[in-house]
Structure 1
Amino acid sequence: MNFLKSFVPWIAFAIVATQFDWRWSGLTGLVLAAGLLVLARREGRKADTLIIELSALAFFVLLTAVAFSFPSSPLKTYTGALTDAWLALTAWGSILLRRPFTLGIARTMTPPEMWDNPVFKRVNLIITLVWALSFTITGLAGIALLNYAPHATAALIALKVLGFAVPVAFTIRYPRIVQARAEKAA
């Protein structure tokens, strides 16, 4: 569950956005993303374990710059959905580059002799695909909801929770399922 702290800036951003102006939620995400990266580097974590953190820093730098430069920008309405869209691009990009973002994280919890195992790589590709699909669906659904039912707060919150909970549950369960199958076959 260590990987969940990678999402702290995104979660804090979402919480602060419900109470304050988007400038302050963007700045909150930026400060937390930068702080997480500093802590991770002090811990000696390598770049392949920090894809989500690096993506968060880039997103929150851009968002904060836009929010403070153009506080009444129409983007303000869509920031929640834009976070999902950005994370979807991050996940899909990591897949296209053949470096699924979950792979680096999984290596921190797996013995080095497993890292080149095709099953290990495939499991992480599938997990990253689930995250990418979830972010994509949540982003598109969020944009649609904000466009057609902007005051459907409960639906937006449910969408966010599901869009995060489903891939978290899959990330936890899927490797166990694959391992159980392998042990049964052996």
Structure 2
Amino acid sequence: MQKAAIFLGFVPWIVFSVVAGPSTWMWAALAAFLCSLVLALPDWRRSRSISILDAAALLFFAVLVVLALVLDRATLQPIEDRAQLISSIVIAIVALGSLAAGRPFTEFYAKKQAPPEVWNTPTFTKVNRVLTGLWGGVFVLNALCDVAVAYLGANTDVFNWVVPIVAIVVAVKITGWYPEHAAQQARAGRGAHEAHANPAQPA
């Protein structure tokens, strides 16, 4: 699995999180929607399917853009004030919801790299459950950071920038490392099992 593929799926949400503010969230939503469209089109043209991340992003950011166009400023104020928190909660629900439903969202990207014969193996399933849980946890952390800033007066630079960026970088690193690590463990386990099942015969 290429870690870049999974990371790209989160780009619209990251763009929105970075750009969105009390006076910029509408433009951030439009930029994130266009970004989602650009990312989803190649998959749709190739296979007539898109990832759950792209689908959620297209729907979520389209709704925000429409709300910005049809509602007045006073009605939009709660969204303006909590736009980043709302987006973090939505993407965390999408990621962890796919895990709870038994369809980890990372499978979409993994199947682009792995041959069909491994799609139903325990290792493939385990890797995607772990990575989906990891990324869901990252966005839960981001949501908690937004809550800390909005309601507890926490330092904005630390909780809106440093912690989320470090969490994303760590998740990208683990995404690149863990699949091969899990595959090596599986191969070692099979080797030990075969050695136990077929002990060497005495000379």
Q: Normalising by structure 1, what TM-score?
A: 0.87
Deviates more, 1:51-60 or 1:17-26: 17-26
Distance 1:100 1:19, change over 3 A: same
Cα deviation for residue 19 of structure 1 reads 10
Match of 1:29 in 2: 32
Match of 1:161 in 2: 165
Q: Deviations over 1:68-93 (max 9, x none)?
A: 42444122122122221111110121
Q: Deviations over 1:38-88 (max 9, x none)?
A: 2321233634xx111111111102222333424441221221222211111
The question of whether the paired residues in 2 share the 8 Å contact of 1:27 and 1:64 is answered with yes
The question of whether the paired residues in 2 share the 8 Å contact of 1:22 and 1:67 is answered with no
- The equivalences for 1:147-186 within 5 A come to 147-149=151-153, 152-185=156-189, 186=191
Deviates more, 1:84-93 or 1:57-66: 57-66
Q: Partners of 1:10 and 1:46 in 2: how far apart? A: 20
Structure 2, unmatched stretches of 5+, are 192-203
Match of 1:67 in 2: 68
- The equivalences for 1:6-17 within 5 A come to 6-17=9-20
The question of whether the paired residues in 1 share the 8 Å contact of 2:92 and 2:137 is answered with yes
The question of whether the paired residues in 2 share the 8 Å contact of 1:103 and 1:124 is answered with yes
Match of 2:5 in 1: 2
Match of 1:109 in 2: 113
Q: CA RMSD in A?
A: 2.2
Q: Partners of 1:141 and 1:183 in 2: how far apart? A: 39
Cα deviation for residue 96 of structure 1 reads 2.1
The question of whether the paired residues in 2 share the 8 Å contact of 1:7 and 1:52 is answered with yes
- The equivalences for 1:19-168 within 5 A come to 21-44=24-47, 46-47=49-50, 50-68=51-69, 69-71=71-73, 72-149=76-153, 152-168=156-172
- Count matched residues: 184
Structure 1, unmatched stretches of 5+, are none
Q: Which has the larger radius of gyration?
A: 2
